[in-house]
Every structure is written in C-alpha cells, then in structure tokens.
Structure 1
Amino acid sequence: MLVWERPEPSNRPVLAPLSRERIVRAAIELADADGLVAVSLRKVAAALDVGPMRLYGYIDTKEELLDLMVNAVHAEIHPTGDDWREVLRSQAEATRRAAQQHEWLADLIGGRPQLGPNTLAIGDAVLGAMSDVDLDVVVPAVAAVNAYVVGAVRREISERRAERASGMDLRQYQAATGPYLQRTFAAGQFPALATVVRDGPHLSADETFRVGLEFLLDGIEARISR
C-alpha cells in the first residue's frame, strides 16, 4: 500500500509524540539547511529526539520520506488565473519560488510522477484551466511547460551552488573568465558566439526565466489558435 493510503499508527502515550507531519517537517528543515545529504531516517529521528525505529510505521523507506517532502512543499504552490495562460504562468513561477526556498526540490522534481495529494491538486488545477482545449494539445503543452520549468530551475540552482562552491558571484566569475573569452574571440574563433556575448542582452535570472516562459506560452497559444 502506498504511503498516501496507509494509515498512521494509533496514538500511544509516549514521551515524544510523532506524526508524519512532524517527521516531514523535520526532514525539510534538515534539507533546507544542508541539502538532501543531510536527510536520512537516522538523522531525522535524532532531530526529533527519538530512536530511528520509531519512524517505521509512519514511513517505511527514505524514498517515501522524500515523496512526502516533495508533496509538503507543493502545498506552497497555488496556480491561479482567469485563463489557461495565467494559470500555467503562475504554476511555473510558483514552482521556481518553491525551489529557490527549498533548493533540494530541484533534485527531486522532473523524475517519476509525484502522486501526493498536493501535487495532484496542482495538476488538476492546471488541466482544469485548459478544459476547453483539445487534449491532443493539452497533454504535450503541459509537458512542455513542466520540462521548461524543471530545466530552468535545475540550471538556476546549479549556478547558485557553483557560486557558493567557488566563492565567486556572477560578476566575479565573469571578470575571471572574461580575458580568456576575449583572447579566444579575438582569434576569430566562434564568431556567432562572440556576437551574442558582445551585443546580446544580458538578462537577470528572473528575466531569463520569464522571457523563456513567455516564448513557450506564445507557441502554445499559437497552436491552440490554429
């Protein structure tokens, strides 16, 4: 039986009462502080000041715990809007904000389908906003937006982690690598790339995400209008 359908153990008089909600909240706090490497049943039990065996019955495996964590964070995502485009945009932006708040989420989204009730509610809201659109368009359109969000979020979080690891922010990194690129471009190599680096727009992370998302939504709208 999946964790979503399995009842919790009955209440028992113990020194430290447990619930799946308390376990998941403790796991999220560990992950927010130190990443998924800090999450294990043993470490979560220690954070709750209980023995690891106490967690079994509530959660069978670490994989179940990760699923519950993802579902809990999806409670922070509320797609809103008066039409499908606004709903898809708000879902994408809210997912990005959730990943910025909980960087570990970027490591867990985009894999196997998430079946938690909060995750399913988001999918239902998005699909409900597109109820007047042909399913042959809805299915690949939603998949395309999800793929864009997953890719963009993972790249952004990877860049944030790289900055912390190197100790250099974006401007410092550009200053350090700029002379190399200048020498390479001056030699006549990669002319198209040189033009973009020299003359192209330099967008912030927020602008890059939003502009790319609007390109994608424009394409979906054009397909719907056919």
Structure 2
Amino acid sequence: MTVWDRPEPPARPVPLDRERIVATAVALADEGGLEAVSLRKVAARLNAGPMRLYGYIATKEELFDLMVDEVQAEILPEERADDWREALSGLAHRTRRTALRHEWLADLLGGRPALGPNGLAVSESTLAALDGVADVDTAMRAVETVSAYFIGAIRREIANLRAERATGLTEQDWQRARGPYLTGMLATGRYPALAKAVHEGTHVDADTSFATGLDWVLDAVAVRFTRRPV
C-alpha cells in the first residue's frame, strides 16, 4: 500500500493532515535543503509530537515522495501542448524553473517514477502529446532521453549555485582566482583543445546554455521520429 492509498487518522488533539505536514516539510527544505527535513523537525514546526506524524507518514522516504508530488503540481502544463516538441520543451523548462524555486528537488530527480497524482498527471500530459507521433517504445525512449538531459543540466546548475553560496565566489570570481594556474597549465602546450575552448569559446549564461542544449536534444529526437523503420 502506498502513502496515497493509506487513510489519514483523525486530526486530534492538534489538527493535522498530510497537506499541512507536506507543506511544512517543503518550507523546511526550501529554507535548508533536504538535510533540514525530518519527521521530528516537521512535528516541531507544527507544535505536534513526532509520534503523531507516524499516523500520517511512515518514513522519511514517504515524506520525500509526498514533497516531490507537491511540487510536481508546479510542473503541470496549464493547457495541452500543440505538438510533441512543445510538450517536451515545456516539461524541461517548467522542471528547471521549479527546481530553481525548490533546489532540493534536484536531489530527488531521476530516481524511480513519481507515482503521486501530480506526478502521474505530468507523465500523462507528456505522453499524450506524443501519442500518434511515434510507437509507444520510441515515445518512451524520447521522454527518457530528454529527461536525462534536463535533469543533468539542472543538477549541474544547482550544484554551481550551491558552490557560489558555500564559497562566496561567483563563477566569474572563481575563474579569476584560478586564472593564473589555468593559464600556466595551458601554456605548457599539453592541452591544445582545452586551450582553444578557453580562449576562443563564447561564454553564455545558464538560460542560454540550457535552452541550446535542449534544442539540440529535441532536434535529435525529431530525426528519430521521422526515420522510417527498415
């Protein structure tokens, strides 16, 4: 039985329900990351005894599942996409925006499928947009491929944001601080391809980098969709 199947106990003496518990857990995670979330800490924020929460949620893993499903509501499209490319692009951009609002989400993306009602709705809306475009197996591989791209890109971006906060150095500050070392290493001539990338490459912001990579992946998916079976 999943946490969504299990009925909630009576709300006494302090009024409780899973909705309040999950909202509190999300707030704690937004403030301090997943390490700030435990059933004991959630109970303390709600002025309830920790054992009360076990009637609603059996484990911290269940709580994380509920938290992910809560923010999956922010990833749901407001209306059905006109075509598969718009659907997959929208999924990627909405997931990124949601993860930037709730950075802890990046730590939970890419695991087992989200089985809560919002997670299922996200999957349904995505696959519905691919219905008739390709066979089921090809459509599933397309979603997996695009998801692998944006999950990896999101995790990298958030890792950089966390590093900036931990060190107090922006990416530009970090580059300037390591500049003399890198310049010296590149001057040895042992890394010509890297030297060319550093000296001639164009720096782009995170938005542009994400959108460009996503477009390239979607272009590859489009080729696969139009390729006829031998």
2:153 matched to which residue of 1? 152
CA distance in 2 between partners of 1:32 and 1:94 (Å): 18
Which deviations, in whole Å up to 9, do the C-alpha atoms of 1:40-95 show, x marking residues without a partner? 00000000001001111111111100000000000111235210000100010000
Q: Distance in 2 between matches of 1:206 and 1:96?
A: 10
Distance in 2 (CA, whole Å) between partners of 1:199 and 1:81 is: 39
Per the alignment, residue 187 of structure 1 pairs with 188
Alpha-carbon distance between aligned partners in 1 of 2:139 and 2:191, rounded to the nearest angstrom = 39
Tell me the amino acid that sits aligned with residue 56 of structure 1: Y
Alignment partners' CA distance in 2, 1:24 and 1:136: 35
Q: Give 1:187 shift.
A: 1.3
Q: How many percent of aligned residue pairs carry the same amino acid?
A: 57
Q: How does 1:152-171 map to 2 (within 5 A)?
A: 152-171=153-172
What's the TM-score, normalizing by structure 2?
0.95
> Partner residue of 2:107?
107
Aligned to 1:125: 125
Counterpart CA distance in 1 for 2:215 and 2:97 is 17
Mapped contact 2:11–2:17 kept (Cα < 8 A): no
The answer on 1:213 being equivalent to 2:214 is yes
Q: Using the alignment, how far apart are the partners of 2:8 and 2:33 within structure 1?
A: 27
Q: TM-score under structure 1 normalisation?
A: 0.96
Q: How does 1:22-37 map to 2 (within 5 A)?
A: 22-37=20-35
Aligned to 1:7: 7
Structure-1 residue corresponding to 2:226: 225
Partners in 2 of 1:188 and 1:120 — Cα distance? 53
Q: Which amino acid aligns with 1:54?
A: R
In the other structure, the counterpart of 1:201 is 202
Paired residues in the alignment total 224
Q: What is the DSSP-based 3-state SS (H/G/I as helix, E as strand, rest coil) of the residue aligned with 2:110?
A: coil
* Counterpart amino acid of residue 157 in structure 1: I
- Look up the match of 2:90: 90
Q: Deviations over 1:155-190 (max 9, x none)?
A: 111111111111100110111111111111111121
Equivalent residue runs for 1:51-90 within 5 Å:
51-79=49-77, 80-90=80-90
The gaps in structure 2 that reach 5 residues or longer are: none
Q: CA deviation at 1:114?
A: 1.6
Distance 2:5 2:137 in 1: 32
Deviates more, 1:74-83 or 1:185-194: 74-83
CA offset at residue 139 of structure 1? 1.3
* Structure 1 residue ranges without an equivalent (≥5): none
More deviation in 110-119 or 41-50?
110-119
2:39 alignment counterpart: 41
